[in-house]
């Protein structure tokens, strides 16, 4: 495994190699431009009106320049003498040759200074460091020297102003070319680095997708397979080749997709001759119209759920054994004392102990049986107002004072998709706890319902002391209770029954007494 230092060093070597390769490519194209320009001077220079001041000198310099460009343009030259040395030598030859050609022609008044600026721009692109300023300074000295010699002869004084402007242009072009080259190089290196990182990340993602226990299929806008992992092919029982229409590769899945209602809700389908598969469709907004499908083996999901149920059953069984042992011990002890006791008062007290503990065991058994019925939910659209009214008639059998303790505010048209028996038991547990801790005054317990975000919420709130902060984490755990005669299964069963009806039972934290909210669908 490589160390970070070695990795950084390797990354630096790759960066330098990439930069050197980019400069060599730029020099290759620059040499082609030099060769074409030198050939034009040697062949067509005189016919273009150049070299009128010294025709022989112009031809000799043009031919020599062409030969020098040919000699220094071979790749072996840069490998033998060094890249930077060859670039510097070529720039010196270019500046001297064009200055001599300019002297043989019309000086700075011709078009040759413009070509010299182009060469300085090229030198700035392939050169490095402060050598670019050296090229501009050398061109400036050469042009000013040529203009001085011409002025000492038959030149005009105004040529110095033109020459000065040209020399300023040399430095400006050289610096701008160098800055642009450096920026282009940085952008290129950044793009290559990010490309390498992206390639690594893509390789890791592909490996993760291939090793996923779930199947993954990516469909293009034409409903053809764009990408699929091996697990998807195993679950569907057919190969998923790239570009194959889904209707041909997996017709059952295509039919299930066509018959869906959209969204990312999980649905089931049965491949021909295969196991039941659950699939979920996701359409990412950044995927450009592609569709993402997740496939899960229902047998594996059911096996995992069974393991969770068995583990929960083990914990529940241990808790039940512990909870039953205490009242049974009390019953056994009271029965032994009852056989020996002759006094009527003591017999009545022992009999009451036996009855209380027997009722406690009966309540525990009833609660456990309620847990067994959680999977047999039959939701229906219950009209909450009438249901709550009938429930309270049964819950408050001890007179008007008990009815006045509960204030109800439920809209007449509000409905809740719930199993009738399950909702009855949940409200019985919640209102039983509220009555145990609330005051006896009118409206001490409030029951109200409201519609929120397409769901129906039923709230139960009391004016009691509330729930201690230390008990919040254990509130819905089985066998947790703060009441001496409680079984600790009331809220646990209420939450389990709520989940069986695709609802949620939560504690609304705040000041005052306990506040519970049951949120479920309004329609089944």
Q: What share of the chain is helix, strand, coil (3-state, %, to 5)?
A: 60, 15, 25
**Is the CB of residue 100 less than 8 Å from the CB of residue 51?**
no
Per-residue pLDDT reduced to its tens digit, 425-444? 888 888 888 888 888 788 88
What's residue 317's pLDDT?
65
* Distance between CA atoms of residues 17 and 20, nearest Å: 5
Q: What is the CATH number of domain 213-300?
A: 3.30.450.20
What's residue 245's pLDDT?
86
* Distance between CA atoms of residues 490 and 430, nearest Å: 8
Query: Quick one: which of 517, 384, 386, 507 has its CA closest to 458?
Result: 517
Boundaries of every domain in the chain:
4-194, 213-300, 303-372, 380-521
Alpha helices of 212-292 — where are they, by DSSP H?
230-236, 246-249, 251-258
> In CATH, which of 3.40.30.10, 3.40.50.970, 3.40.640.10, 3.30.565.10 is domain 380-521?
3.30.565.10
The single-letter DSSP state of residue 279 is: E
- The pTM of the full predicted model, rounded to 2 decimals, is 0.40
What's residue 152's pLDDT?
76
Extract the residue ranges of the chain whose pLDDT is less than 70.
Answer: 1-20, 22, 127-130, 154-159, 259-266, 269-270, 272-275, 284-288, 302, 305-306, 308-327, 330, 333, 338-347, 356, 360, 362-377, 397-399, 478-488
The single-letter DSSP state of residue 507 is: E
Which whole-number Å values give the CA distances from 475 to 435, 485, 488, 507, in the listed order? 17, 17, 9, 9
* Distance between CA atoms of residues 88 and 357, nearest Å: 104
What's residue 5's pLDDT?
38
Strand-pair category, 406-409 with 291-297? unpaired
What's residue 9's pLDDT?
42
What's residue 148's pLDDT?
82
Query: Quick one: which of 243, 244, 245, 240 has its CA closest to 229?
Result: 240
User: In the numeric block, which tokens belong to residue 446?
Assistant: 């409030």
* Distance between CA atoms of residues 521 and 503, nearest Å: 7
User: In the numeric block, which tokens belong to residue 364?
Assistant: 């525990």
Q: What is the CATH number of domain 303-372?
A: 1.10.287.130
User: In the numeric block, which tokens belong to residue 163?
Assistant: 């020459």
What's residue 274's pLDDT?
61
Per-residue pLDDT reduced to its tens digit, 80-126? 877 778 888 888 898 898 888 888 887 777 778 888 888 888 877 77
Judge residue 369's burial from the number of C-beta atoms within 10 Å of its C-beta, 0-12 exposed, 13-18 middle, 19 or more buried: exposed
What's residue 14's pLDDT?
47
């Amino acid at each position: 495994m490589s160390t970070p230092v070695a990795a950084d060093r390797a990354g630096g070597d790759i960066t330098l190699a990439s930069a050197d390769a980019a400069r060599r490519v730029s020099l290759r194209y620059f040499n082609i431009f030099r060769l074409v320009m030198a050939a034009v001077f040697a062949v067509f220079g005189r016919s273009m009106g150049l070299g009128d001041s010294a025709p022989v000198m112009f031809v000799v310099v043009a031919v020599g320049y062409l030969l020098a460009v040919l000699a220094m343009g071979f790749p072996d030259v840069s490998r033998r003498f060094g890249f930077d040395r060859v670039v510097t030598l070529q720039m010196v030859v270019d500046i001297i040759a064009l200055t001599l050609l300019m002297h043989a022609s019309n000086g700075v008044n011709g078009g040759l200074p413009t070509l010299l600026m182009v060469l300085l721009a090229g030198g700035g692109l392939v050169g490095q460091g402060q050598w670019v300023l050296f090229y501009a300074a050398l061109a400036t000295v050469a042009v000013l020297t040529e203009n001085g010699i011409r002025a000492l002869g038959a030149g005009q004084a105004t040529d110095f102003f033109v020459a000065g402007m040209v020399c300023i242009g040399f430095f400006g072009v050289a610096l701008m070319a160098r800055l642009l080259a450096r920026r282009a190089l940085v952008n290129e290196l950044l793009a290559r680095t990010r490309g390498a990182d992206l390639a690594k990340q893509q390789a890791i993602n592909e490996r993760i997708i291939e090793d996923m226990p779930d199947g993954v299929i990516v469909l293009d806008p034409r409903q053809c397979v764009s990408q699929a992992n091996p697990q998807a092919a195993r679950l569907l029982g057919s190969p998923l080749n790239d570009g194959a229409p889904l209707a041909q590769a997996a017709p059952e899945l295509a039919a299930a997709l066509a018959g869906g209602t959209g969204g990312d809700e999980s649905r089931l389908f049965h491949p021909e001759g295969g196991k039941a598969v659950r699939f979920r469709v996701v359409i990412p907004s950044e995927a450009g119209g592609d569709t993402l499908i997740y496939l899960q083996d229902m047998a594996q999901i059911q096996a995992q759920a069974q393991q969770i149920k068995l583990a929960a059953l083990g914990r529940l069984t241990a808790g039940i054994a512990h909870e039953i042992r205490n009242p049974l011990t009390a019953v056994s002890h009271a029965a032994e004392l009852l056989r020996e006791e002759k006094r009527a008062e003591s017999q009545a007290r022992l009999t009451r102990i036996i009855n209380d503990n027997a009722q406690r065991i009966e309540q525990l058994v009833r609660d456990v049986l309620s847990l067994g019925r959680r999977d047999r939910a039959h939701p229906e659209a219950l009209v909450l107002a009438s249901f709550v009214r009938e429930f309270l008639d049964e819950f408050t059998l001890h007179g008007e004072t008990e009815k006045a303790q509960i204030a109800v505010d439920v809209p007449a048209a509000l409905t809740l998709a719930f199993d009738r028996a399950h909702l009855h038991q949940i409200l019985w547990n919640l209102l039983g706890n509220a009555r145990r801790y609330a005051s006896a005054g009118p409206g001490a317990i409030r029951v109200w319902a409201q519609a929120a975000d397409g769901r129906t919420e039923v709230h139960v709130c009391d004016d009691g002391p509330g729930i201690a902060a230390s008990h919040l984490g254990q509130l819905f755990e089985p066998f947790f209770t703060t009441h001496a005669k409680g079984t600790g299964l009331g809220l646990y069963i209420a939450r389990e029954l709520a989940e069986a009806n695709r609802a949620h039972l939560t504690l609304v934290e705040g000041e005052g007494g306990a506040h519970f909210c049951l949120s479920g669908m309004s329609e089944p």
